[in-house]
Amino acid sequence: MLTFRSDLKKKKPVVVNVPHKNDMMCLNESTLPLWKSIQDAVLHKLDAVPLNRYFNPITDELFQRLSDYAEVPREWLAVGNGADEMLYYLFVATRENAESFGVSAAPSYFDYQSYTSAVGMGIRLVNFAPDYSFPLASFLDACNHKDCKLIILCNPNNPTGHLLDASCIKTVIEANPAKLILIDETYYEFSGVTWKEKLDDYPNLVLVRSFSKGFSAAGLRFGYCIARPEVIGELKKVMTAFHLSLLTQATVCAMLEKQNLFLQHNARVKELKQQLFASMATIDGMTVHPSATNFLTFSVGEETPRLFDFLNENEIAVRAVWSHPVLANTLRVTVGTAEQNGRFLNCVKKFMKERKQ
């Protein structure tokens, strides 16, 4: 079939399959409507951003504001359309040949598999233990191969929600000084944990961040990398010119100008998460796991698939994450508004009550 790469034949197109329900608690999105809160500031910025041009000083402003927010020099930053695009660029930049592979613990963010295969790279997945602890010995083994070109650590991890053991991360980094280590900090604004301070000690680190979660802007598509300038320089060799729309750049500048709005919202999300966790933990027959993100994983044992259907029938979309054995019969729910969380809890309680009868 035409001249497409032959290894694409067995790959499926990238499609995110979720039901569209009244309460969307399945994609770890924010409940804060972005546009309303920044509309005036964005429109004001756009007055000085003519879209008939490629270049605009807004790019300088973006790097300056992001450098202030992330507390790193601007030369330590690369920006793009969501964390996903930054991941994609990292895969393109580290793939040497068809034997090249990345290593990730599993279960983790599904798109590591999707995008490595998109660029013609493999991925080796090393399972977490059933209690989510890090599989250090087998992980180090998988990394210790000449074709391992990229080591991926999702921290906190999606879909489990937990933070990886810091001493394990350190051991992995120190055992692999010549390999690029990607730490995915997409949920940084909720966890408050970053490896940014370690960039001086470990020049092989690259952090990936997103505006989709902690900045309530999933639809905007903005993400960035933090790394030493030598790493950023290599990454920039595979990026297309003018890949980030001036519209996005202006919007991000306005958001960073008003960052307290988002950061305050995150404090509320964390509070709501604790309340949701506490309420779920009191439900008889429910197991719920602590999380450093804006979502929780939970299970009601073998009845979980029926609960998933029941929630759907009641217009509540959560995510089924049970395809991996470590997460057998497990669902993931994104923290919603107090009202959404209430509807979700009532629905789960109703299901559990009916189940008993």
Q: Which positions touch ligand PLP (CB under 6 A)? A: 28, 82-84, 109, 154, 158, 184, 186, 210, 212, 218, 223
Q: Could you give the CA distance from residue 85 to residue 91 in angstroms, rounded to a whole number? A: 10
CB 66, min distance to ligand PLP, A: 14
Taking the CA atoms of 195, 197, 201 and 202 in sequence, report the sign of the dihedral they define.
Answer: positive
Q: How far is the CB of 223 from ligand PLP (least distance, A)?
A: 4
CB of 212 to ligand PLP, least distance (A): 3
Beta carbon nearer to ligand PLP, 213 or 310: 213
Q: Which residue is nearest to ligand PLP (CB)?
A: 82
Q: How far is the CB of 77 from ligand PLP (least distance, A)?
A: 15
The smaller minimum CB distance to ligand PLP, of residues 118 and 218, is found at: 218
What pairs with residue 142 in β-bridges?
A: none
CB of 308 vs ligand PLP, minimal distance in Å: 19
Q: Toward ligand PLP, which CB reaches closer, 76 or 215?
A: 215
Long-range contacts of 47-51 (CB under 8 A, 24+ apart): 49/246, 49/247, 49/249, 49/250, 51/246, 51/247
The three-state (H, E, C) secondary structure of the chain, written as one string: CCCCCHHHCCCCCCCCCCCCCCEECCCCCCCCCHHHHHHHHHHHHHCCCCCCCCCCCHHHHHHHHHHHHHCCCHHHEEEECHHHHHHHHHHHHHCCCCCCEEEEEECCCCHHHHHHHHCCCEEEEEECCCCCCCCHHHHHHHHCCCCEEEEEEECCCCCCCCCCCHHHHHHHHHHCCCCEEEEECCCHHHHCCCCHHHHCCCCCEEEEEECCCCCCCCCCCCEEEEECHHHHHHHHCCCCCCCCCHHHHHHHHHHHHCHHHHHHHHHHHHHHHHHHHHHHHCCCCCEECCCCCCEEEEEECECHHHHHHHHHHCCEECEECCCCHHHCCCEEEECCCHHHHHHHHHHHHHHHHHHHC
Residue number with CB closer to ligand PLP (152 or 348) = 152
The residue among 38 and 182 lying less far from ligand PLP, judged by its C-beta, is 182
Nearer to ligand PLP, 61 or 84 (CB): 84
Give whichever of 192 and 285 is closer to ligand PLP, judged by the CB atom. 192
Given the complex with ligand PLP, which of 83 and 143 has the nearer CB atom? 83
Contacts of 18 (CB under 8 A, 6+ apart): 24, 26, 27, 317, 319
- Give least dist CB 116 to ligand PLP, A: 13
Report the nearest approach of ligand PLP to the CB of residue 210 (Å). Answer: 3
Nearest approach, Cβ of residue 191 and ligand PLP (Å): 11
The nearer residue to ligand PLP, 192 or 301, going by C-beta atoms, is 192
Q: Least CB distance from residue 224 to ligand PLP, whole Å?
A: 9
